[in-house]
Structure 1
Amino acid sequence: MCLTLSHVTKRYDDHTVLDAVGFNVAAGERVALLGHNGAGKSTLMKIILGLIASDGGSISVLGTEPGSHDARTHTAYLPENASFHPALTGLEQLGYYLRLRGESPKQATFLLDRVGLGPAAKRRIGTYSKGMRQRVGLAQALIGQPKLLILDEPTSGLDPVSRREFYVILDELAAQGTAILLSSHALTEVEARTDRIVILSSGVMVANDTLANLRRRASLPIRLQISAQNGKADEVARKLSGQRSNGVMVDLVCNSQEKLARLGDISALGSLVDDVDVIPPSLEDIYSHFSKRGNA
């Protein structure tokens, strides 16, 4: 395992910020760390990075202690608001960081190209947008081919195209064996681009599983959206005891155990039905479900 946490606890005075949190991140795995503001995500990341100490439990970062030389050498971090010297160009700033890491500054051009900043490499960072500065931060995080990548709201300030390109880079890193721990409030983009979900609620880990397994455990309603033949929506709705939504659409709601039987009912209608979409609970639904359980 690249990252192993067991019963990690952190307290400030009489307030418990993290309460016996434990999970693993394997090589090549993309894990999303979710939670409301104040849930303990940033504190946990600081502990993993060795910036602050935990009050209990154990942590192994690439087989060593957080903050050790080996852990720092092979771990990269991208904060939510990356900050750089405004008078330096992107090329100069990245070259500086490469020299600090004992790497050739000639790699700066390649890294900036990889994050889509090649055309702006010789512009001063003071002229960059927030999204462009965030991409400089990602380029910096890629120095040295990290084995563990810690990302705190990494797509903040990025436009939709840049967000998609960002996740393509993460997919490539994971395919090469990099372990990725990513904190984000953008649940819709995380839903399709991570392997496992960890949810914190008031410092307590309330979920740690794949999205598919969390859906099964939550047992939230599934929506079946049926497209009926023209003029047949009322008949389809009546036969299925469904709700006509608009035009030719009919909506059904069922639980996961009923899904196959209800699909059979729909199939039995034959030519009355043009198509059917199965809409499972979204990650937002799952997150809300487990967060409420944690606060109960």
Structure 2
Amino acid sequence: MTADVLNISNVDKDRGKTRVLNDVSLMVQPGKRVALLGHNGAGKSTLIKSILGLTPIHSGAITVDGAAPGTGAARRATAYLPEAVSFHPALTGREQLTLFAKLDGAKADIAGLLKRVGLSDALDRRIGTYSKGMRQRLGLAQVLLGKPAVALLDEPTSGLDPISRQDLYAIIDQLAGQGTAVLIASHALTEVEARTDRIAIMSKGHLVADDTLTGLSRRAGLPIRLRVRATDNADAIAAQIGGQRINGASVELHCTPDDKMAQLRRITDLGDAVADLEITPPKLEDLYRHFAAQDASEDLS
């Protein structure tokens, strides 16, 4: 297994006169979970299809566990969960997964896999009776067959209730724990913010950001919000540290990441005048808007 089990290097892809992937480079190491974010039309689906070998690229290179997309070796190394899974409605969950296992040549505990994704009560029901969320769970069980080097998950929580979403990310954690490189294309920013190792953001075919959440925050330089709740006198606190009074009892101010520690020391020096302190860093939604807007402004320049 290579150091970067999924390696995308300087990839360009044209559709007619439109460049839908523009010099995209992205690497995913074994055991890492990378979120791939972007608006509709940003290039996420095209990139995933290119990794799967379903659509050719015009320049650059992609390797999956050292193999070219679409080759037998790459297919054996890759597991894929599309946003809209489709199975034969007349088969039961057990029959469908058994068929996949035979096609893959994998020896699997079918009942155990279906239990793992929460389908133990429906393993002998026909798939035609499954809800969308249940079909999504069955698709995830297919991903778990064998030990894929790379798992590509396209909107994996689509159709799932909140508890099922938590269960799914727990399974994704297990996948990563066994050494699988996981690439998750998603619009659910709140979910991936806490459950991935890196965030990759696409905009208009460009990869505009690729870093940890902390690294993205540092690069963006977006302000951190500090809210200080006064013990008695919010006006006195505001006079010393600046900021704006909130609800008569608190003071809110913003600082840059570089100034955060200095500002916290000033607040600490206030002693018992401070009853509480809330620190709110930029959220992933803020960072996403920042980098996507940055790409748009560059296009206009």
TM exceeding 0.5: yes
Aligned to 1:187: 189
Aligned to 1:115: 117
Residue in structure 1 matching 2:36, options 19, 33, 50: 33
Aligned to 1:57: 60
How large is the Cα RMSD of the aligned pairs? 1.4
Aligned to 2:293: 292
Cα offset for 1:194? 1.0
Aligned to 1:13: 16
Question: What is the TM-score with the length of structure 2 in the denominator?
Answer: 0.94
Q: What one-letter code is carried by the residue in structure 1 that aligns with 2:6?
A: L
Cα offset for 1:164? 0.9
Distance 1:243 1:130 in 2: 48
Q: How many pairs were matched up?
A: 294
Cα offset for 1:247? 5.7
On the 8 A contact 1:7/1:22 being kept in 2, the answer is yes
Distance 1:237 1:84 in 2: 62
Distance 1:234 1:142, change over 3 A: same
Aligned to 1:87: 90
Cα offset for 1:83? 1.2
Aligned to 2:277: 276
Aligned to 1:78: 81
Cα offset for 1:88? 2.1
Distance 1:128 1:96 in 2: 18
Q: For structure 1, which runs of at least 5 residues remain unmatched after alignment?
A: none
Structure 1 segment 195-274 matched on structure 2, within 5 A: 195-229=197-231, 231-246=232-247, 248-274=249-275
* Aligned partner of residue 191 in structure 2, secondary structure: helix
* Aligned partner of residue 97 in structure 2, secondary structure: helix
Residues 127-173 of structure 1: CA deviation (Å, up to 9, x unaligned): 22211111111001111111100011111111111111111111111
On the 8 A contact 1:74/1:144 being kept in 2, the answer is no
Residue in structure 2 matching 1:128, options 127, 130, 136: 130
Runs of 4+ in 1 over 4 A off after TM superposition: none
Distance 2:147 2:119 in 1: 19
Q: How much identity, in percent, do the aligned residues show?
A: 56
Distance 2:165 2:94 in 1: 22
Aligned to 1:4: 7
On the 8 A contact 1:236/1:250 being kept in 2, the answer is yes
Cα offset for 1:201? 0.8
Q: What one-letter code is carried by the residue in structure 2 that aligns with 1:168?
A: A
* Aligned partner of residue 258 in structure 2, secondary structure: coil
Distance 2:41 2:243 in 1: 41
Distance 2:274 2:176 in 1: 42
Distance 1:75 1:5 in 2: 15
Cα offset for 1:262? 1.1
Residues 80-117 of structure 1: CA deviation (Å, up to 9, x unaligned): 1111122222112211211221234x621111111111
Cα offset for 1:233? 3.0
On the 8 A contact 2:238/2:245 being kept in 1, the answer is yes
Distance 1:90 1:251 in 2: 54
Q: What one-letter code is carried by the residue in structure 1 that aligns with 2:98?
A: G
Cα offset for 1:239? 2.8
Q: For structure 2, which runs of at least 5 residues remain unmatched after alignment?
A: none
* Aligned partner of residue 88 in structure 1, secondary structure: coil
Q: Does 1:165 align with 2:167?
A: yes
Cα offset for 1:278? 1.4
Cα offset for 1:248? 3.3
On the 8 A contact 2:64/2:77 being kept in 1, the answer is no
Distance 1:120 1:265 in 2: 59
